[in-house]
Amino acid sequence: MRIKICGITQPQQGKAIADLGATALGFICVTTSPRYVTIKQIQAVVEKLPSKVDSIGVFANTRPEKIKQAVVDGGLTGVQLHGDESPEFCQQLRDLLPGVEIIKALRIRTATDFDKTAIYNLFVDTLLLDAYHPQQLGGTGKTLDWQLLQNFQPSRPWFLAGGLTPYNILEALSQVKPTGIDLSSGVERAPGDKDLQKVAQLFEKLGNR
């Protein structure tokens, strides 16, 4: 199972989290986010990472050319789209960035929101399901209704996100069978400041499954 820790801002924390077992780190490229990082900050983290750890840039309603520049300059291996990007936009980005993973985040409020996943399956490599929040795009600490996801089996790999912590991760995974999990606020002291003790607890829980 892939384990992505999102909202990385500090090189030493990024390296430590990778060493603990994360398979992917996420970098917020949305300027309005409290976890926003510049390309230089991303570079400082990525250069310390082993090549097996994916580095994912998180964008929302950003022009394709700007995303491509960030991927090239930041050494990113993937792009997570967390805004209102259309399937056509995803295809355009895939054409611009061959070989780069395209992840589409969908905020789930009701069962009908799952209809969107079938549409995006054709245009992205990976899906990410997050909790709905009317103002914030992610990192809200709100959990999804896991019961809604018990029979969710898309044709693409997918991350479960939304309010996951070391304390509820086993309960979540007892109900839902994602191919990856994504945590941010659940392993933080403050936005962008990861709590390495909580990250270690997460991997300890997962190791004892």
Distance between CA atoms of residues 13 and 209, nearest Å: 25
Q: Are 97 and 74 in contact (CB under 8 A)?
A: no
Burial bucket for residue 47 (CB in 10 Å: 0-12, 13-18, 19+): exposed
The DSSP code for 143 is P
- The pair of structure tokens assigned to 41 is 């900050």
Catalytic annotation present for 130: yes
Distance between CA atoms of residues 149 and 112, nearest Å: 12
Catalytic annotation present for 6: yes
Q: Which of 6, 29, 54, 90 is catalytic?
A: 6
Q: Are 67 and 95 in contact (CB under 8 A)?
A: no
Distance between CA atoms of residues 12 and 8, nearest Å: 10
- The pair of structure tokens assigned to 28 is 């917020």
Taking CA atoms, 51 is separated from 18, 25, 46, 72, in Å, by 10, 12, 9, 16
Q: Which of 29, 54, 90, 130 is catalytic?
A: 130
Active site residues: 6, 130
